[in-house]
Amino acid sequence: MKKFTAVQDVANLEDLVNEALHLKQNPYEYKHLGENKTLGLLFLNPSLRTRMSTQIAAVNLGMNVMVMNMDKEGWALETQDGAVMNGSTVEHIKEAAAVMGRYCDIIGIRSFPKLQNREEDYSEDLLRKFIAYCKVPVVSLESATRHPLQSFADLLTITENTPAGKRPKVVLTWAPHVKALPQCVANSFAEWMGKAEVDFVITHPEGYELADEFTGNARITTNQQEALHDADFIYVKNWSSYTDYGKVLTEGEGWMLTNEKLQSTNNGKVMHCLPVRRNVELSDEVLDGPNSLVLEQANNRTYAAQAVLKRLLENLR
Ligand code: CP
C-alpha cells in the first residue's frame, strides 16, 4: 500500500480486515516495525477519535508521532496554483507539504469540505496537492468526500458482530441534525459496503441522494420503515444535500432512530461514527441500550489505523 485515501487503495479487503483483527489481539507484535520512523498528523479541523486512535496505533508500532493543528498553529495555507499571495494566506501548500514530507515518513491529514462549491470539494484539491508535494505516503484522516479510516473500523465492527457465513443486511439511514454536515462518512461507508459481503440499503428523505459514484449498486429508498425491516445493522448518520449542495432541506421530523423503530429489525445493532447529537440523531434509549455498537466502532479505529500504518511502513522498506 502506497497511500490510504479510499477503499480503492486496498488491494485485498479481506486480508486487511484479518490483519486488523489480528492486531487487535496482538497490538505489540510489530512494535519494532516503526522504530525511527515518524508519523505526522495534520488537522485542519477538530478531532477526538481520529487523533487519539491514530496516535495509539502508531505508538503500538513503535513510531514517533507529531500532531499539528494546522488551523490554529500553522500558517494560513494557499492552495491555488499561480496565486499572488498578497492576501490572508501566508504559505503555499507546495512548500508546506514538501517541508513536512522532509520531517515525516508518513503523513495523515484531515481537511473537511467547505460545502460552498461542490465541484471544488469533490475535486479533492487539497488532498491531491498534498499527496503530490509531500512525496511520502499519505493517510486520509477524513477528506472533502471520504472518511476511510472510519469506514474500515465500521467494517471491522460489522465483521466481528456477524456470525460466520451470514450475509448481514446493513442499512445506512439519514438522521436529523442542527447544522449542515459533509457527505464524507455516508459516501465512504457506502463505498466500503459496496466491496463487503453484505446486503446494503440506503434510506434518506427526498433530496438527500448521495453521488452515484459512492452508492454503486446499493438499494435506495425514501421509506425508512421499509428499509429497517429485518436489518442486522443500522448505521445512523446525517449529511447535507449533494444535489442542492451543502443545504439542509428538512428538519427531518420522524427520522430519528428510536427503540420503537428497532422493533421491526433483526435485533439490529446500531452504529454511528460519533460525535453524535443525542436526542436529535439518536435517542438516549438507543445509545445507552444493548444494541448500540458506537463504542466498539470507536475502539476499532485504533486497529484500522494500525493495519493501515503497518502496510505503509512495510512498503517503506
Ligand atoms: N468519528 C470521527 O472521525 O471522530 P473525530 O471527528 O472525533 O475524529
pTM of the model: 0.98
Ligand 1 pocket mutation pick from 41, 42, 43, 49 by most atoms within 8 angstroms of CB? 49
The protein residue with its alpha carbon nearest to ligand 1, atom 7, reads: 48
**Can you tell me which atom of ligand 1 is nearest the CA of 51?**
8
Does residue 76 contact residue 88 with C-beta atoms inside 8 Å?
yes
Residue with cell 494566506: 89
> Looking at this predicted complex, what is its ipTM?
0.99
With cut-offs at 50, 70 and 90, classify the pLDDT of residue 196: very high
Mean pLDDT across the chain: 97
CA distance 206 to 221: 9
CA distance 299 to 285: 21
Q: For residue 210, what pLDDT is reported?
A: 98
Give the DSSP letter of residue 224: H
Per-residue pLDDT at 22 exceeds 80? yes
CA–CA gap between residue 33 and residue 281 (Å, rounded): 41
The yes-or-no verdict on residue 317 having pLDDT over 90 is no
Which residue among 41, 42, 50 has the greatest number of ligand 1 atoms within 8 angstroms of its CB, and so is best to mutate? 50
Among the atoms of ligand 1, which is closest to the Cα of residue 147? 3
Measured by CA distance, the residue closest to atom 3 of ligand 1 is 50
Distance of CA 39 to the CA centre of its chain: 19
Write down the pLDDT at residue 290.
97
pLDDT, mean of residues 24-28: 98
Determine the pLDDT at residue 59.
98
Residue 146 has pLDDT above 80, yes or no: yes
Domains of the chain by start residue, with CATH: 7-146+301-316 (3.40.50.1370), 162-292 (3.40.50.1370)
What gap in Å lies between CA 63 and CA 213, rounded to an integer? 35
Q: Which atom of ligand 1 is nearest to the CA of 46?
A: 6
- Check residue 204 and give its pLDDT: 98
Report how far ligand 1's centroid is from the alpha carbon of 172 (Å). 18
Per-residue pLDDT tens over the stretch 250-303: 989 999 999 999 999 999 999 999 999 999 999 999 999 999 999 999 999 999
Distance 148 CA to ligand 1 centre (A): 12
> Ligand 1: which atom is nearest the Cα of residue 50?
8
Residue 295: per-residue pLDDT: 98
The reply to whether ligand 1 has any atom less than 6 angstroms from the CB of 140 is no
Q: How far is the CA of 8 from the centre of ligand 1 (A)?
A: 22
Give me the pLDDT at residue 84, please. 98
How far is ligand 1, taken at its centre, from the CA of residue 52, in Å? 9
How large a percentage of the chain has pLDDT more than 70? 100
Residues in the annotated binding site for N(2)-succinyl-L-ornithine:
142, 177, 237, 277
Helix 184-193, helix 148-160: angle, nearest 10: 50
Cα–Cα distance list, 275 to 53, 156, 191 (Å): 14, 19, 21
CA of 82 to the centre of ligand 1 (A): 34
Please give the number of the atom of ligand 1 that sits closest to the Cα of 48.
7
Assign residue 179 a region (left: φ > 0; alpha: ψ between -120 and 50; beta: otherwise): beta
Structure confidence at residue 302 (pLDDT): 99
Is 45 close to ligand 1, i.e. is its CB under 6 Å away?
Answer: no
Residue 274 region by backbone torsions, left for phi larger than 0, else alpha for psi between -120 and 50, else beta: left
Q: Give me the pLDDT at residue 254, please.
A: 95
Find the 100 Cα to ligand 1 centroid distance in Å. 23
Pocket of ligand 1 contains residue 274 by CB under 6 Å? yes
Whose CA is closest to atom 6 on ligand 1? Answer: 47
pLDDT reported for residue 127? 98
Residue predicted with more confidence, 281 or 317? 281
Mean pLDDT of 183-199: 98
- Bridge partners (DSSP) listed for residue 140: 109
Q: Rounded to whole angstroms, how far apart are CA atoms 127 and 111?
A: 8
Tell me the mean pLDDT in the region 114-128.
98
Tell me the pLDDT tens digit for each residue of 37-74: 999 999 999 999 999 999 999 999 999 999 999 989 99
Q: What local confidence, expressed as pLDDT, does residue 184 receive?
A: 98
